[in-house]
Chains A and B, each alone.
Chain A
Amino acid sequence: MKKVITKRNIMVALLVIAVYAALFFLVNMKVLNRHYRSLLAPVGINVILAVSLNLTVGFLGELNLGHGGFMSIGAYAGCLFTIYTDLPLAIQFPLALIIGGAVAAIFGILIGIPALRLQGDYLAIVTLAFGEIVRSVLTNMKVTGGAGGLKGIGKSTNYTIVYIVAIITILIISNLVKSRHGRGICSIRDNIIASESLGVNVIFHKLLAFVVAAFFAGMAGVLYGQNLGILKPDAFDFNKSIEILVMVVLGGMGNLTGSVIAAVVITLLPEILRGFSDYRMLAYAIVLITMMIWNANPRFAMVKNNVYSWLHRKRGNAR
């Protein structure tokens, strides 16, 4: 049994509290204007999405192009629940979050089972197909309000709730990755045949990664709906999935801290640089291409390793 209260964990907890205190101060002392305050919740939601997608793309090593689809399923399930039930908010909201996550996770199992037979490009296309199917079904259903969108969702979230959910997501996923199951997931990425022959249950671990990622995407969807107050199927199209993928790729596949930083940067940057918005898609494309080519370049990998080892040495000295 590892110790829970270590120096490192205390530092992280202090950092979490400090960041929240800083946000609280910035919001309540009216340092941030209305526009920037409205960006806090989307930043947190994107952090949840990027971290959960990193589980499938970075750790399992399978491309999931339907993350937006899982998000939309969770969003609609959770928000429909809040519309059609009349419970006190303190019970209703957590329930909605869990329902959104659970429904998305069920779809994660549904799409995960056929996906178990596939890998690589085929799996990517199946997840893409899944996202498109979800979008067109949501557009055609009466309950969801069709293309016009689902209106009348209570705006019952704020940056505090999103922050808490994001922290919980990061905690769960980073602990999962370090656990026995997480090592199983990583071994599938590194060599599926070798891990299978060493007794890793490939089916279970693939499904686990898919379902956990879908669950958190669904929760992010509920937060998204509760934050905006309206849901439209078109908000969860292929571009949304790609946007999350860009965050994961920019932050580094298999690096959760990187995902968090990239999610914050990619959400805030287009808002800060106003003239930039026309070039956003172009920038995404260039990020995807250059990141992949650089990572394949041995010289860049060497530089990166040097930087890492330098950072670690510094941290070691401080201890």
Chain B
Amino acid sequence: MQYQSKIWVYGGLVLFFLWNRDINKRVNSTKVKELIILIMEVIAQFMNGLNLGSIYALIALGYTMVYGIAKMLNFAHGDIIMVGAYTLSIAMSFLSLPAPVAIFISMAVCALLGIVIERIAYKPLRMSSPLAVLITAIGVSYFLQSVALLIFGSQQRKVESAVNLPSLLIGGVEITGEAMVTLGVTIFIMAALTSFMKYTKTGMAMLAVAEDKGAAQLMGINVNKTISVTFGIGSALAAVAGVLLTSSYGFVGPYTGSMPGIKAFVAAVLGGIGSVPGAMVGGLLLGIIESLSKAYISTELADAIVFGVLILVLLVKPTGLLGKKRIDKV
């Protein structure tokens, strides 16, 4: 359903550009030209939003997976992005490895880190209150940030883009290679993740654990292993998000991941937490809202608007746009 509507949107955009180019030649009236320029600007901002939104969506996928299965908000998810970005930058500039190898290393490091964090910090708290788990997660997030600060310093590092694609010019709107790759990768990962959950044994085990931990264990599913795998996959996704984020923006610092991480959580909540398509929709929507409000309202207030949207959504529909209603059993 979503892919179809997406195809229609893109098809429509391309047609509009083609038509637009002709009109540019024919019409000389300045007013129409101004209008066209304005529309082009909006579309350029829209593309920016899609780029940002797909990164949010990718991070939100990791959040949603972990939230669905471990029933906890992994606050440190955003900082794993930062670790992924640093790993990439070291692998590419110090060890001068080719980009695909560096990306693979970064994913592996992050997956391992995610599993280790789960083992050390979250596993002892599986029986504790959600409050204790959340506070621990905040602690882990702070831990990663301050370790990065101690190792690399507060100065932001320049990172070469891992994507080597020329930008595309369609009807006067420039689409960077990074934006195209980001969107493509996000859609691919979402499709892959959905089919992984549906068709593989591990994926089905994950769904079962998400549904009912105790029952899953009785059915012979290794719950601990499944949760570890979930953290591993979620963190590897975070690494991909880190690679794409730094490819688009070119810098990495100790706090690179925290804001996108929080916003991606907002995206996950917006789309309905626990739902994979919801994460995608929420991420894209949030990215577009953010870049449009940055361009047309105020750069400084963009964050406030994003968070305002979150509060509004939670007020009107606490389960998010595509979320399922959860019933508390006594």
Contact = CB atoms under 8 A, between A and B. Distances in A.
Q: Do A and B bind each other?
A: yes
Interface of A: 57, 61-63, 65, 114, 117-118, 120-122, 124-126, 128-130, 132-133, 136-137, 139-140, 193, 242, 245, 249, 253, 278-279, 281-282, 284-289, 292-293, 295-297
Contact of A292 (B125, B265, B310): B125
Given A120-B134, A129-B307, A292-B139, A281 B146 contact: yes
B212 interface: no
Contacts of B132: 292, 295-296
Given A118-B314, A121-B130, A285 B139 contact: yes
Contacts of A118: 314, 318
**Chain A contact residues, majority secondary structure:** helix
B131 A133 contact: no
Contact of A285 (B146, B269, B308, B328): B146
Interface in B107-123: 121
A295 B127 CA distance: 11
B129 interface: yes
22 contacts: A63-B131, A114-B314, A117-B314, A121-B73, A121-B134, A129-B307, A132-B303, A132-B307, A133-B303, A136-B303, A140-B301, A278-B150, A282-B142, A282-B143, A285-B141, A285-B142, A285-B143, A287-B139, A292-B135, A293-B125, A295-B132, A296-B127
Q: Which 5 A-B pairs have the closest CB atoms?
A: A288-B139, A129-B307, A285-B142, A285-B143, A281-B146
Given A114-B315, A136-B304, A285-B140, A61 B131 contact: yes
B147 interface: yes
A161 to B, nearest CB: 32
B124 interface: yes
A281 B145 contact: yes
B34 interface: no
Contacts of B298: 140
Interface of B: 67, 72-73, 121, 124-125, 127-136, 138-143, 145-147, 149-150, 262, 265-266, 269, 298, 300-301, 303-304, 307-308, 310-311, 314-315, 318, 328, 330
Contacts of A278: 150
Contacts of B303: 132-133, 136
A114 B133 CA distance: 23
A278 B154 CA distance: 11
Given A137-B301, A193-B330, A281-B142, 10 more contacts: A63-B134, A117-B315, A132-B304, A137-B304, A288-B135, A288-B136, A292-B136, A293-B124, A296-B125, A296-B128
B182 to A, nearest CB: 25
A158 B146 CA distance: 34
Contact of A120 (B130, B139, B304): B130
A286 B149 CA distance: 15
A292 B314 contact: no
Contact of B142 (A121, A128, A139, A284): A284
Nearest to A115: B314
B67 to A, nearest CB: 8
Given A139-B300, A140-B300, A292-B135, A125 B125 contact: no
B311 A281 contact: no
Nearest to A286: B143
A111 to B, nearest CB: 8
Nearest to B300: A140
A130 to B, nearest CB: 7
Contacts of A279: 146, 150
Contacts of B140: 285, 289
Contacts of B262: 125, 128
A305 to B, nearest CB: 17
Contact of A193 (B134, B142, B315, B328): B328
A124 B314 contact: no
